[in-house]
Amino acid sequence: MTATTDGSTGAALPARAAAASDTTTATLTTPEAAGVPEAAARAARRATDVLLAAQDDQGWWKGDLETNVTMDAEDLLLRQFLGILDETTTEAAARFIRGEQRPDGTWATFYGGPGDLSATIEAYVALRLAGDAPDAPHMAKASAWVRERGGIAAARVFTRIWLALFGWWKWADLPELPPELIWFPSWMPLNIYDFGCWARQTIVPLTIVSAKRPVRPAPFPLDELHTDPERPNPVKPLAPVASWDGAFQRLDKALHQFRKVAPRRLRRAAMNAAARWIIERQENDGCWGGIQPPAVYSVIALHLLGYDLQHPVMREGLASLDRFAVWRADGARMIEACQSPVWDTCLATIALVDAGLPVDHPQLVKAADWMLGEEIVRPGDWAVKRPQLPPGGWAFEFHNDNYPDIDDTAEVALALRRVRHHDPERVDRAIGRAVRWNLGMQSRNGAWGAFDVDNTSPFPNRLPFCDFGEVIDPPSADVTAHVVEMLAAEGLAHDPRTRRGIAWLLAEQEPNGSWFGRWGVNYLYGTGSVVPALTAAGLPVSHPAIRRAVTWLESVQNDDGGWGEDLRSYQHVKEWSGRGASTASQTAWALMALLAAGERDSGAVERGVRWLADTQRADGTWDEPYFTGTGFPWDFSINYHLYRQVFPLTALGRYLHGDPFERNLLARPDRTARRAAAPQAAGG
């Protein structure tokens, strides 16, 4: 296991505290007057050395996955609820939470973002658990800000659920989630498979919590977070009955009435069915879905049904949550919402090969061995919509066999194709299964979502409960682009299914020439994904869509030569589209698109490459405090600590050595004919 500079395990990259420092204080490498190619080559060599040194002995890479302090606050609240909160954990978490507080007393959900009401409430409560006095200056400033924004009553539903667990909010004033939902057939509106997999895994355990309505004794009052402590739960007016919001608000009222008359045996049977669903989906490492929120709520739900903390399901579930903790050198403890080893490993492999590392380098072979061992070969929840489709693919995390990821599967296939493995037939078989599975997961419109097929129901987002972010998984440009690029690498660029994906991408281009980025920020990520995919699939660089993309990228380049985009572009604020402080990962995405579009010798590319070379630290890394990844656009943002390393190296490598397709790393003639004859995938 490789230790990071922050004392955690995983990729040896700078910690959050170091990343947030002003770049003017960093030691920067200044390229000599020899020229941009020479500077790029030096930067690529240093970045390669850093990445090779960060690989785990088992062959994988993993950078820290940083989100926001609600993960840390909810971890403490869970432990308080279960009666297992200890002083060491509390103080370490509180140290991290205090360090993330902004000067105005608030907490944001991303670096440089505005204060967020729910995050501030949850962080404040966590610090109260840690013993911080409400009249301490940092606490008083936070509570005053909360009251000015409407208090607890204005917070999101999830925040109020956590408070209801301790009597700080009334369960009756929360949206109802009946456990009978577990019995809805897949053709019925609002069945659990209408929700994206991350929401589905969270909602099922919460139906049990909602039915039980537990209250643990509150360790202190929270009157200071209410605008009116005498009436802390104000009644909100209903929307017009003819509106969707009004209709679902009235449905929620009806469900509250049903709760009063629901037969006890029926409700108990529904909760037991939900519990079986939860237990069946526990992963081998004890977690659920490889992500923290479903694990937290699953533990609470099962505990309410009588599972004691020593039960194997509970014991392993709690142990898995401990593995989400990143302990830092200063004694602070940060909770990752998720871990990304498969994603990080395939991106690192692609970066190293594209930067010129020999394709049979031992560390690349070790990475390929590890990825091959992570292939998922059993059905998961995706089979509800595709019961005849054979399995094959990769998840994002160490363990998440129920939910392989279409995006990860495409990128792993692209990574494996770059490595000269000692067992090429094994690689062929694994990629063949992945191609078949990805083709079978194509949605009706010709595009791809991240986890499910045609997960586009308009109803889940309308529920009063679902105010925490995106709860469905519609096709997106970035995922579709990665699949198209993978299919092109497998000699299937002219397959009708690939052409449908290309047609969808062309139709989704924004009027300004960019593409929306669902899983990365934002139009820079979407455009940086789509342009390389389209050119790999055979679109000429003279194609109007490619030229519009180039024009847009050139128009949003910063004066310093880099590119950046603020998360506020997700709020449809035009001035933020492609605009923001330059970052290493977003500059790399822009460069990858421009290079794929044949712009290697352009001034924009030269300035971008020079910016990467100029801002690289002496140790071969880049500083990137900004969040350039997303879980839910705007609502849940991610700083992938490895992005600042893998994407710049990929861009520099392609600048120095050319496109991977042109270099014959992909779509080699010995495979093309065989792959072009691939059978039609079941359900595609």
Catalytic residue from among 407, 408, 473, 659:
407
Q: How far is CA 395 from CA 279, 340, 674, in A?
A: 19, 9, 26
Residue 623 designated active-site: no
Start-to-end CA distance of the chain, whole Å, equals 41
Q: How far is CA 214 from CA 161, 167, 316, 466, 470, in A?
A: 10, 9, 23, 21, 27
| Residues 468 and 192: beta-carbon distance below 8 Å | no
Q: Which amino acid type is present at position 106?
A: T
d(CA 430, CA 413): 8
DSSP of 284-338: TTS-BTTBHHHHHHHHHHHHHTT--TTSHHHHHHHHHHHTTEEE-TTS-EEE-SB
Interior/surface letters 443-468, b for 16+ CB within 10 angstroms, e for the rest = bebbbbbbbbbebebebbbbbbbbbb
| Residues 368 and 357: beta-carbon distance below 8 Å | no
- Pick the closest to residue 66 from 108, 24, 27 (CA basis): 108
d(CA 338, CA 189): 29
Query: Dihedrals φ, ψ of 351, to 5°?
Result: -60, -45
Residue ranges in 441-540 assigned as alpha helix (H): 477-489, 496-508, 523-536
d(CA 398, CA 145): 40
- Pick the closest to residue 124 from 105, 111, 148, 110 (CA basis): 105
**Paired sense of beta strands 65-66 and 636-640, if any:** antiparallel
Residue 374 region, left (φ>0) first, then alpha (ψ -120 to 50), else beta?
Answer: alpha
Which helix (H) or strand (E) is 66 found in, with range? strand 65-66
Q: How many CA atoms lie within 13 A of 162 on its CB side?
A: 28
CB atoms inside a 10 Å sphere around CB 481:
31
Which helix (H) or strand (E) is 630 found in, with range? strand 629-632
Catalytic residues: 407
